[in-house]
Amino acid sequence: MAIIKVQKGTKDILPSEMPIWHFMEETANKIFTKYGAKEIRTPIFEATELFARGVGDTTDIVNKEMYTFEKSDRSLTLRPENTAGVVRSFIENGMHRLSAPVKLWYKGPMFRYERPQAGRQRQFHQVGIEVFGIKQATADAEVILMAVDYLHELGLNDLTVELNTLGCPKCREEFKTKLKDVIRPYLPQLCEDCQTRFDKNPLRLLDCKSPECQEVYAKPEIQAVIQGDFICEECSEHFEELKNYLDTLGIKYERNRLLVRGLDYYNRTVFEIKSNNLGSQNAVCGGGRYDSLVKNLGGEDTPAIGFAMGMERLASLIGERAEEKLTAYIVSNNTAEAVKLTQELRSKGIACEFDLTNKKFVKQLEKASKTAKFAVILGEDEIANGEVTVKNLDSGEQKTVKRDELKLD
Ligand code: ATP
Ligand code: MG
């Protein structure tokens, strides 16, 4: 019979890879908790409309990448990202009544129908933060700091923080008009996507990966508009404040005026963190401010800012982590005593196993040295004397102790 295989663009995360995943997850909990963030878990599927309204219907995510299905006349979608779900939950659970800032973090699988390639899957995982209720640039700085702190704690230092401001809807309108005016003459030379985006969402043009389009956007008259400062005084002050905070915190960044981010809902601050050790899919973190989203989804007017990181990309940078070994393996030819001792140790919280098949003593010792840190030997003498022999499988050191005085460290 034909073997059923894992779906294109999806992967098993195997036990051998788990040390890295546990490390990423435990570090997220540790670091984000330090900043006062609380974990939230929202459903994997939501009403399709949430993403259409929340992510934006001019984005690639909503137009091309969603896994949408019908059930009982309802259109549902596997979440392509988690900000919309967290915002829905924030509104539905009245979290605007909590004292600001409300800091939430999440981790879990996301689904996008994309062309699978290195660093790009159809089911992938993100870990992220959303901070609600603060419009001041202090929140922007704190969110970037949380991202950098987390990455450093994972041992990732060869990174570049790219920063930009998209201004507010008001200043952005003027920029869009100017940008369209200079790009219009080149419209026929642009890719199909850019031709569609031209009217719907001209900022996204700058984000295009096609070399032909980028050649057009590199023209001096277009660069003059891109590099010119279009943002209004208030937005400009906000950006200056953010940069000052980052300088105070010693966080290095580079201004990237082409950074517009794929999602519709961003305003003012946008940022990306790129690894200098990944190929073309080198962004490990993307984030930004989205002050109008909570209101657009029917909530109270609440400013917010957040980021998401791709965990597969982080995992590929973290490299090897030591295998998670059992603490103890019980070696004995007396199965009844072995079971009893195993349960005694497990009840003390010690991870251990014994031989379920009554193999020869030597085979059991071999198994112990492959899987555990300690062999706990229970021979006839030990049983008779209420003792156990503990062998440290790293050092080879061995000692016999009273059973109730057994310590494994
Ligand atoms: P990209 O430009 O790489 O497509 P994006 O702008 O679509 O990224 P976001 O939606 O901001 O990405 O997601 C944040 C992070 O999630 C990215 O920086 C990346 O690390 C990761 N990510 C996004 N899409 C995928 C995917 N299909 N497979 C693996 N990781 C992904
Ligand atoms: Mg993408």
pLDDT in tens, 308-325: 999 999 999 998 888 889
Residue to substitute in 55, 82, 110 for testing ligand 1 pocket (most ligand atoms within 8 angstroms of CB): 110
**351 and 309 share one domain:** no
DSSP H helices in 154-191 = 169-183
**244 and 97 share one domain:** yes
**297 and 392 share one domain:** no
pTM: 0.90
**306 and 333 share one domain:** no
Tokens representing residue 269 in the block = 């601050």
Query: Which residue range forms the structural domain that includes residue 296?
Result: 15-167+231-318
First to last CA, the chain: 49
The answer to whether position 375 is within a domain reads yes
CA atoms within 13 A on the CB side of 26: 6
- How many distinct structural domains can be found in the chain? 2
When pLDDT is averaged across residues 245-274 and rounded to a whole number, the result is 90
* Residue at which a domain ends, from 300, 318, 336: 318
What percentage of the chain has pLDDT greater than the value 90? 76
* pLDDT for the residue numbered 201: 81
Indicate if the pLDDT at residue 29 is higher than 70.
yes
The answer to whether position 226 is within a domain reads no
pLDDT confidence bin for 67, thresholds 50/70/90: very high
What's the CATH number where 336 sits? 3.40.50.800
Peptide bond into 101 cis (omega under 30): yes
Nearest in space to 345 (alpha carbons), one of 396, 400, 409? 409
Mean pLDDT lowest for which of 153-162, 275-284, 377-386? Answer: 275-284
pLDDT confidence bin for 274, thresholds 50/70/90: very high
User: Relative to the CA of 314, which ligand 1 atom is closest?
Assistant: 20
User: Relative to the CA of 119, which ligand 1 atom is closest?
Assistant: 29
Q: Three-state DSSP class for 79?
A: coil
Residue 106 pairs in a beta bridge with 128
pLDDT confidence bin for 7, thresholds 50/70/90: very high
**147 and 260 share one domain:** yes
Q: What residues does ligand 1 touch, defined as CB less than 6 Å away? A: 81, 112, 114, 119-121, 124, 126, 262, 281, 283-286, 308-310, 312-313
Q: How many CB atoms lie under 10 A from the CB of residue 189?
A: 13
The answer to whether position 250 is within a domain reads yes
**31 and 82 share one domain:** yes
How many angstroms separate the CA atoms of 304 and 130, rounded? Answer: 7
**72 and 128 share one domain:** yes
CA 287 to ligand 1 centroid distance, Å: 11
* Residue at which a domain ends, from 318, 337, 358: 318
Mean pLDDT of the chain: 93
* pLDDT for the residue numbered 407: 86
Tokens representing residue 324 in the block = 């998670």
* Residue at which a domain ends, from 318, 344, 360: 318
Q: Three-state DSSP class for 397?
A: coil
The answer to whether position 2 is within a domain reads no
User: Relative to the CA of 112, which ligand 1 atom is closest?
Assistant: 27
The answer to whether position 71 is within a domain reads yes
**33 and 130 share one domain:** yes
**104 and 158 share one domain:** yes
Tell me the pLDDT tens digit for each residue of 213-246: 989 988 888 888 887 778 889 999 999 999 999 9
**296 and 276 share one domain:** yes
Q: Buried (b) or exposed (e) across 6-18, using 16+ Cβ within 10 A? A: eeebeeeeeeeee
**258 and 388 share one domain:** no
* pLDDT for the residue numbered 264: 65
Which helix (DSSP H) or strand (DSSP E) does residue 295 occupy?
A: helix 293-296
pLDDT confidence bin for 263, thresholds 50/70/90: low
Tokens representing residue 179 in the block = 């940008």
The answer to whether position 190 is within a domain reads no
The answer to whether position 202 is within a domain reads no
CA 120 to ligand 2 centroid distance, Å: 8
**144 and 283 share one domain:** yes
What's the CATH number where 49 sits? 3.30.930.10
When pLDDT is averaged across residues 391-408 and rounded to a whole number, the result is 92
Residue having the nearest C-alpha atom to atom 23 of ligand 1: 310
The answer to whether position 392 is within a domain reads yes
Residue to substitute in 7, 161, 281, 316 for testing ligand 1 pocket (most ligand atoms within 8 angstroms of CB): 281
